[in-house]
Amino acid sequence: MGYRVAAMLRITQATSPAPGAVNEDYVLSGPGWVAVLDGATAPRGVESGCVHGVPWLVRRLSWAIGARIGEALPLREVLAAAISDTRAAHGGLCDLGNPNSPSSTVALLRERGELLDYLVLCDSPVL
């Protein structure tokens, strides 16, 4: 997975919560890479099975991605390891099999020489 690029990656980032809400999105970037997470919340009144909220999930998952994305691993392996780490961080307190547990889309972009690697989980765009 990669596309040739002529210029260096330039990243501009911003997130904003809905009025009166907590921000459930997270952007993390470093030299030559960016991770964008768009958290998803179960509808009000639906039991999620998790003591952690969506903001906790997107922060933890993005930090775990950030810890590995600079390595020479394929992005799918970076994300798989980050998901595993985040799952372990729940500490057995949550029912992660509950379909309403906190979740997030993920979009990753990494510059590798003249190539761009990308990975998209669900519906977050990479521009």
Please say whether the beta carbons of 9 and 109 come within 8 A: yes
Band of pLDDT at residue 18, cut at 50, 70 and 90: confident
Q: Which two tokens stand for residue 124?
A: 């977050």
Band of pLDDT at residue 12, cut at 50, 70 and 90: confident
Q: Would you state the pLDDT for residue 7?
A: 56
pLDDT digits (tens, 9 = 90+) for 38-95: 999 878 899 999 999 999 999 999 999 999 999 889 999 999 999 999 999 999 999 9
| Res 3 pLDDT > 70 | no
What distance in Å separates the CA atoms of residue 88 and residue 74, rounded to the nearest whole number? 22
Question: What are residue 104's DSSP bridge partners?
Answer: 39
How much of the chain, in percent, has pLDDT values that exceed 70? Answer: 94
First and final C-alpha spacing in the chain? 16
Average pLDDT of the chain? 91
Give Cα 64 to chain centroid, integer Å.
9
The residue ranges of every structural domain in the chain are 23-121
